[in-house]
Amino acid sequence: MYSKKTKIYVAGHKGMVGSAIWRILSANGYYNLLGKTSTELDLRNQEAVKQFFTELQPEVVIDAAARVGGILANNEFPYQFIMENMQIQNNLIDTALKSGVEKFIFLGSSCIYPKLAPQPLREEYLLTDVLESTNESYAIAKITGVKACQAIRKQFNKDYVSLMPTNLYGPYDNFDLNTSHVLPAMIRKFHEAKETKNPSVSLWGSGKPMREFLFVDDLAAAIIFTLENKLPDYLYNLGTGEDITIKELAETIQKIVGYQGRIIWDTSKPDGTPRKLMDVSKMNSLGWKHKINLKDGIQHTYTWFLDNIERIKQVKIN
Ligand SMILES: NC(=O)c1ccc[n+]([C@@H]2O[C@H](COP(=O)([O-])OP(=O)(O)OC[C@H]3O[C@@H](n4cnc5c(N)ncnc54)[C@H](OP(=O)(O)O)[C@@H]3O)[C@@H](O)[C@H]2O)c1
C-alpha cells in the first residue's frame, strides 16, 4: 500500500523519538520525508498546521511531537502538559483526517494506564481506574489522542493507530536535570560526579519502583513495522516486557559511566508509580520484538552523550 516514495511527515523529527524514526526510515530507503522544527511550524497553531498540510500534502503522518518531560516537569507544569499536547495532537489528527491522510501513527506512553493497574499492563486496562497524579495532565492529553484515533478508525475506517511505548532512551535524549526522564538524568549525574570527583550522588525516591526501558531504535523499528503493516487493532504497547528496580538501573549506569562514589536515595522526593511493566504480547504476536538489551542500549547512549557533550539537549519549559 505504501512505497519508499510515500510522502511521510514525521512531526517532531528533531526530538529523541522523531530523529530515531527519521534515521531508520531513511536507512530503510524511505526518501520522501517531511520534517519541520517547532520554530518553522508551531503545531499548537491550527492555521499554520492547515497551511502546511495544504502545501505539502503528506500521505502518512507519524506524530512524535509532544511536550515531554519527567516527573518534576510534569508536576510543576501541568497546564503546559495538558494543553500543549492536546493542541499539537488535535491539530495534527484533525487536519490529517480532513486532508485525506489514510495512515496516522500516534505515540502516547505507558502513563496512560491507571496507577494501580495489574501488572504487566495490558491495552484493555485503559480507563479502568485513576491515573498517577504526578503525570495526570500528560496522560489525559495522550488518552484523548488515542480516543480520537480510535474514533477515526471506527467512524471513517482509516488506519489511525496508537502506539504506547514504555520509557524510552537513546541518542538525542533530554539531559536537563529539571525536565529529563530518570535514565538520562542518571547518566548525566554520574558522569558529572565522576568528572568533579564528587563522593556521592543523590537520586530521587527510594530506588524501589520498577521500570521498563526500551532503546529508541527498537521503537523506530516498531514504527516501520506499523507503517508497513495494517495492524488490526487501535492500541498497542511497545516495550521489552522486562523491568528492573530504579536501584538496579542506577547501579548499571554507575558501572557503565565508571563512577566510584556512593548513591544517596532522597526519600523526601516522590517515587511515582510503584511498577510499570508493559504486556507487549499483542505487538509481539504480530511480529515486532525489541532487539537491544538494556546494558547495550545504555552503553550506546553514554557513548553518544560523551561524543555530543557540548550540544546535548536541555529542554526548558516556559
Ligand atoms: N521519551 C520517552 O521516554 C517517551 C516514552 C514514551 C513515549 N514517548 C513519546 O514519544 C514522543 C516524542 O518524545 P521524545 O522523547 O522524542 O520528546 P522530545 O525529544 O522532547 O521531542 C519532542 C519533539 O516535539 C517537538 N515539539 C514540541 N512542541 C512542539 C510544537 N509546539 N510545535 C512543533 N513541534 C513541537 C519538538 O520540536 P523542536 O525540537 O523543534 O522544538 C521535538 O522535536 C512523545 O509523543 C512522547 O509521548 C516518549
- Chain-wide mean pLDDT for the chain? 95
Ligand 1 touching residue 168 (CB < 6 A): yes
**169 has catalytic annotation:** no
Q: Give pTM, 2 decimals.
A: 0.94
Angle at 38 between CA 34 and CA 44, to 5 degrees: 105
Per-residue pLDDT tens digits for 2-11: 899 999 999 9
Catalytic residue among 9, 30, 113, 138: 138
Round to whole Å and give the CA distance between 48 and 91: 9
- For ligand 1, the distance from its centroid to the CA atom of residue 94, given in whole angstroms, is 19
* Residue type for position 154: K
Closest CA to 34 of 82, 80, 112, 96: 96
Closest CA to 52 of 33, 31, 36, 30: 36
DSSP E strand boundaries for the chain: 8-11, 33-34, 60-63, 103-107, 159-165, 167-169, 200-204, 210-211, 213-215, 235-238, 244-245, 262-266, 275-276
Which residue has its alpha carbon closest to ligand 1 atom 24? 65
Per-residue pLDDT tens digits for 72-104: 788 899 999 999 999 999 999 999 999 999 999
Per-residue pLDDT tens digits for 210-244: 999 999 999 999 999 999 999 999 999 999 999 99
- For ligand 1, the distance from its centroid to the CA atom of residue 16, given in whole angstroms, is 7
Q: Largest Cα–Cα distance of the chain, in whole Å? A: 60
Cell 480520537, residue located? 148
